[in-house]
Amino acid sequence: MDFTSKEFPMTDENFSYLSGVAYDISGIVLGDHKKELVYSRIARRIRKLELVDFNQYCAYLESNKDVETNEFVNSITTNLTSFFRESHHFEYLAKTVIPEWKKSKIGKPIRIWSSACSTGPEPYSIAITLQKNMPVKNFDVKILATDLDSEVLAKGRAGEYSLNDIEQIPRDYLSCFVRNEKSGIGMVKPDLKEMIKFNRLNLLGPWPMKSQFDVIFCRNVVIYFNKETQKELFDRLADSLVNGGYLFIGHSETLHGVSDRFESIGRTIYKKVK
């Protein structure tokens, strides 16, 4: 497709610059097949900034990195998510992991990390699974939810979702929301919110967390990274897990040939072995 003849002309040089900035900031690899995505996302910024083309936007980004970098990252980051997405992970958490914790974690902290939480359905799905399958008040349970995109984190903290989004949740879990049919909004109940802390974090930057986690969800993230970056990330994730801790990854991802620090124990479910 010729992007130089569109509403806001984008040259190959423009795309190369923007994809380079994206990689430097987030490790996301934007190949040529992502040109349409980059064009559509950044065109919105060009309109908002009242610029004329991608040349101007690239110059603006270069000279205003302190204010525009976050907007740029928010624009190109894909935030596709839903409650109980890849439901077998939550079934495994309910039927295998939680029964283990009921025996081994009395009086001990339980720490879970949703490392690419987007607008929040993943960490809230984790919290709902815990609440429905164990007496959480009798345990020290905390969920850390992080993302690179500050806008989606704000949505996650708010805990407000359309009733259409909530309707996909199993019926016995709907009690975790306060539904308002008039506004079409469902609010996550306060006791679930209290279990989760939302923080902005770049997975390729420093990690300030000092304690290790019992479970890490890192799903549909590494598909954007090259093999070298994937190896480095999974090595850091292994360091951040307790021995025997669990790692859940996305349906199109694998650790085969990437890391030898985990053993596969189910469909995209891994256990730390070293």
User: Per-residue DSSP letters for 225-245?
Assistant: S-HHHHHHHHHHHHHTEEEEE
Average pLDDT over residues 106-118: 96
Locate tokens 């990274």: which residue?
225
Q: What is the largest CA-CA distance in the chain?
A: 64
Beta bridge partners of 199: 146
- Cα 61 from chain centroid? 25
Average pLDDT over residues 132-137: 95
pLDDT of residue 79: 65
pLDDT of residue 1: 78
Active site residue 147: yes
Residue 38 contacts residue 3 (beta carbons within 8 Å): no
pLDDT tens-digit profile of 140-177?
999 999 999 999 999 999 999 999 888 878 888 999 99
Residue 268 contacts residue 248 (beta carbons within 8 Å): yes
Q: Quick check: 77 pLDDT over 80?
A: no
pLDDT tens-digit profile of 6-15?
899 999 999 9
pLDDT tens-digit profile of 235-252?
999 999 999 999 999 988
pLDDT-based confidence at residue 43 (cuts at 50, 70, 90): very high
DSSP alpha helix (H) spans, the chain = 12-26, 35-49, 54-63, 65-76, 87-92, 98-104, 121-133, 150-158, 163-166, 190-193, 227-239
Average pLDDT over residues 52-57: 96
- Looking at 41, 157, 179, 261, which residue is catalytic? 41
Q: What is the pTM of this model?
A: 0.82
> How confident is the prediction for the chain on average, in pLDDT?
93
Residue range 3-76 in CATH 3.40.30.10: no
* CATH class name, domain 87-272: alpha beta
- Looking at 45, 111, 147, 214, which residue is catalytic? 147
Q: Where are the domains of the chain?
A: 3-76, 87-272
pLDDT of residue 226: 87
CA distances 117 to 4, 73, 223, Å, are 35, 15, 16
Active site residue 165: no
Q: Is 106 exposed, middle or buried (0-12, 13-18, 19+ CB in 10 A)?
A: exposed
Give the H/E segment covering residue 39.
helix 35-49
Distance CA(189)–CA(36), nearest Å, equals: 39
